[in-house]
């Protein structure tokens, strides 16, 4: 069964995730590493656990989730995979990063894009694609059904939801996707968000002020 390790990176305190299983293969999701120290922590974890990175996934392409894409490509030869609707978001980072005073090494673009539904696999693990735009125009979440865990990006947080005031954001679309695509997952499904601590679907159904 897939295990998950999180790393908090960059000035936005973004969560980078490594999913790995007994095969030794792993997927790197939303690499946000901004400094050499942050890069080293991720590389050392992969090395110390004898993991083989085979997938680089982005839930979406806001700056804080793609800062490490080029580094992961340089280290492991992996190009990112994300939904094609996020490409304009990625391209905008080039102009946005200097305005925020952030050094950005330009991310490679995918050789192949992810679709709105279906699955993606590594090792013995299968991740279901859940298309949940609203925070960004073509946001994907990755659901590991066997492990009952969701890497949710910036859709749903503990006690909050993704902001919708950025280009391509849409509040009603985000709420609709949370209600009809995430809240249909099991109540005990663990949600690993793009920022802050993990939560569960059931806890957010009961307590999230945006959704109760």
Q: What is the CATH number of the domain that holds 23?
A: 3.60.15.10
- Position 201 in a domain: yes
- Residue ranges in the chain assigned as alpha helix (H): 36-48, 63-66, 69-76, 87-99, 171-177, 201-207
Write out the DSSP string of 68-120: THHHHHHHH-PPEE-BGGGHHHHHHHHHHHHHTT---PPPPPPSS-B-SSSEE
Q: Which residues pair with 81 in a beta bridge?
A: 57
- Residue 94 and residue 141: Cα distance in Å, rounded? 24
Please report which helix (H) or strand (E) contains residue 131, including its range.
strand 125-131
Query: Which segments in the chain show pLDDT lower than 70?
Result: none
Tell me if 20 is assigned to some domain.
Answer: yes
Task: Tell whether 212 is covered by a domain.
Answer: no
Question: 27 is written with which tokens?
Answer: 């997927």
Cα gap 93→85, rounded to integer Å: 15
Its pTM surpasses 0.95: yes
In whole angstroms, give the CA distance from residue 172 to residue 197: 25
pLDDT for residue 40 = 98
* In-domain check, residue 147: yes
Q: pLDDT tens, 63-121?
A: 999 999 999 999 999 999 999 999 999 999 999 999 999 999 999 999 999 999 999 99
Residues ≥6 apart with Cβ < 8 Å to 136: 60, 61, 62, 86, 89, 154, 162, 166, 168, 169
150 found inside a domain: yes
Q: In 3D, which of 135, 132, 138 has the Cα closest to residue 169? A: 135
Residue 99 is part of which domain span?
3-207
| Domains identified in the chain, total number | 1
Say if CB 152 and CB 143 are below 8 A apart: no
Instruction: Give me the pLDDT at residue 164, please.
Output: 98
Q: What is the mean pLDDT of the chain?
A: 98
Question: How far is Cα 58 from Cα 86, in angstroms, rounded to an integer?
Answer: 9
> Are residues 4 and 19 in contact, defined by beta-carbon separation less than 8 angstroms?
yes
DSSP state of 164: -
Q: What is the pLDDT of residue 196?
A: 98
- What is the predicted pLDDT for the residue at 212? 85
């Amino acid at each position: 069964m897939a295990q998950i390790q999180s790393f908090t990176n960059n000035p936005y305190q973004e969560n980078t995730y490594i999913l790995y299983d007994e095969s030794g293969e792993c997927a790197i999701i939303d690499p946000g590493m901004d400094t050499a120290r942050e890069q080293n922590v991720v590389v050392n974890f992969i090395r110390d656990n004898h993991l083989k990175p085979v997938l680089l996934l982005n839930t979406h392409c806001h700056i804080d989730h793609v800062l490490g894409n080029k580094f992961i490509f340089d280290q492991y030869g992996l190009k990112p995979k994300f939904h094609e609707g996020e490409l304009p978001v990625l391209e905008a980072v080039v102009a946005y990063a200097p305005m925020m005073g952030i050094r950005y090494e330009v991310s490679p673009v995918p050789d192949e894009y992810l679709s709105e539904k279906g699955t993606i696999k590594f090792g013995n693990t299968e991740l279901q694609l859940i298309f949940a735009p609203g925070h960004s125009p073509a946001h994907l979440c990755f659901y590991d059904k066997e492990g009952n865990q969701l890497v949710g990006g910036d859709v749903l947080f503990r006690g909050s939801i993704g902001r919708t005031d950025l280009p391509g954001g849409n509040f009603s679309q985000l709420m609709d996707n949370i209600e009809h695509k995430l809240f249909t997952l099991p109540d005990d499904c663990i949600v690993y968000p793009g920022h802050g601590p993990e939560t569960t679907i059931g806890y957010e159904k009961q307590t999230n002020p945006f959704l109760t």
